[in-house]
Structure 1
Amino acid sequence: MKFTHREMVLAGLMAAFMVVVTVVTRIPFVYAVVPFSLQPLVAVLAGVLLGARTGALSMVVYLLLGLAGLPVFATEPFGGVMYLLKPTFGFLLAQVPAAYIAGRLLENRGPASLYRYIIASLAGMAVIYLIGLPYIYGTLNFYLGKATSIMAVLKIGFIPFFVWDLLKAVVVGLLARAIHRRLPRYSSKYK
């Protein structure tokens, strides 16, 4: 699977944008197992804006930067391989397939209406939950040894964020469609 220079540059720029958004929006005084974050918005935006392959590549680059030890993640220790053991790492891991699926839903299917943009964004958000919530459950129950029910996982990782993530998906749909309509490459395809 080869990437063009353009795709690599766009992936790098989106990964850098993810780093900036994550670092700028860290809220140190709020303690929660799952902190509020704009990362899902950026991950889904990457897929919808850049397409499935390039959007997913940008999220892989972001993950590799963090796992290499750079302080680019939202909570302490902010980076390194040990981050794999944090209950919230599943949400980060899910950003790769979320970007891919969101981008894939818009590719090669005729004109992209606002409705399709929002559906693609919602699908990306759903992927983040489908991977992130079981990861929390597994990490809390099997690695940390804290007996946690499925309902408890939903209370800490889904219920407080669901409405916000619906709103983020709508924002992604509106933003990506507006950007695509202004780019000559996309203007006839995304009306």
Structure 2
Amino acid sequence: MRMRYTPREIARIALFVALAAASVYLARLIPPIVIFGTGVPVSFMPAISALAGILLGARNGATAMFVYLVAGLIGLPVYAGGTGGIGHVLAPTFGFILGFIAAAWVAGRIAGQSSHPARLVVASVLALVPLYAVGIVYMAAVLNLYLHQPAPIAGLVLSMTPFVIKDVVENAAAGLLAAALIRRLFPERLGTVAGEAGAREGA
């Protein structure tokens, strides 16, 4: 398996790390969205992690999110609220930062080299599955084992419903954005739309 990164890949990975960090500060300027009576803080990270996987590929997208994770752990203020530091490992929400890596990888694997909007929307939305799976399990572990606060996973899943609704809409939009960006920045992938259509007709 190829492990080295080309200069172009490194530049694109760095761009997404910078985009992720900048999005944290942009999100602070937007008031929470009220869904079912719950104020849901704005976060662009679920969409950015999916975009990273779709546009950079599974490996490079996951790498970008891993670098973002490390940047925060070494103290750079790139996490929610403009924070950072190794202490975040013991925060209940740290699992979602880990989940961004899985989300990028899954989005990239599902999207493949496709530029078809429907497939990219599906890839982006399904990336939320590993994101929330990792995030909720980690949250339950920290709350129950470290903070000694009883928190059944079923209850945590239910409490995340407003967040999931917001993220599904956001990630669907990210999938459409990815399709538009591919047409401008990755023209070599445009031929896959015709290829997918031909494959369906021949099936």
Q: 1:14 aligns with which of 5, 13, 16?
A: 16
The structure 2 residue matched to 1:82, chosen from 87, 110, 115, is: 87
Q: 1:187 to 1:68 in 2, by over 3 A?
A: same
What is the 5 A alignment of 1:14-93?
14-26=16-28, 35-75=41-81, 78-93=83-98
- C-alpha deviation, 1:23, in angstroms: 1.8
Unaligned 5+ segments in structure 1 are none
- Compute the displacement of 1:103 (Å): 0.6
State the secondary structure of the residue aligned to 2:192: coil
The aligned residue for residue 154 of structure 1 is 157
List runs of 5+ in structure 2 lacking aligned partners. Answer: 33-37, 195-203
- What do residues 91-136 of structure 1 show as CA deviations (whole Å, max 9, x unaligned)? 000111110110111225xx54222111111221111011101111
TM-score (norm 1): 0.88
CA separation of 1:87 and 1:4: change in aligned 2, threshold 3 A: same
Verify the 8 A CA contact 1:36 1:161 in the aligned structure 2: no
Task: Report the count of equivalent residues.
Answer: 185
Residue 127 of structure 2 corresponds to residue 124 of structure 1: yes
Matching residue of 2:138: 135
Rounded to whole Å, the distance in 2 between the matches of 1:182 and 1:29 is 32
Larger Rg: 2
How many Å apart are 1:187 and its aligned residue? 2.6
One-letter code of the match for 2:120? Answer: Y
**Native 8 Å contact 2:52 2:61 kept in 1:** yes
Q: CA deviation at 1:137?
A: 0.8
User: CA separation in 1, counterparts of 2:117 and 2:12?
Assistant: 23
Taking only aligned residues, the RMSD between alpha carbons, in angstroms, comes to: 2.1
Q: Kindly indicate whether the alpha-carbon contact (under 8 Å) linking 2:31 and 2:42 is maintained by their aligned counterparts in 1.
A: no
The aligned amino acid for 2:95 is G
Once the 2 structures are TM-superposed, how far is the Cα of residue 28 of structure 1 from its aligned partner? Answer: 9.7
Paired amino acid for 1:73:
Y
Would you identify which runs of 4 or more consecutive aligned residues in structure 1 move more than 4 Å? 27-30
Aligned pair 1:97/2:99, yes or no? no
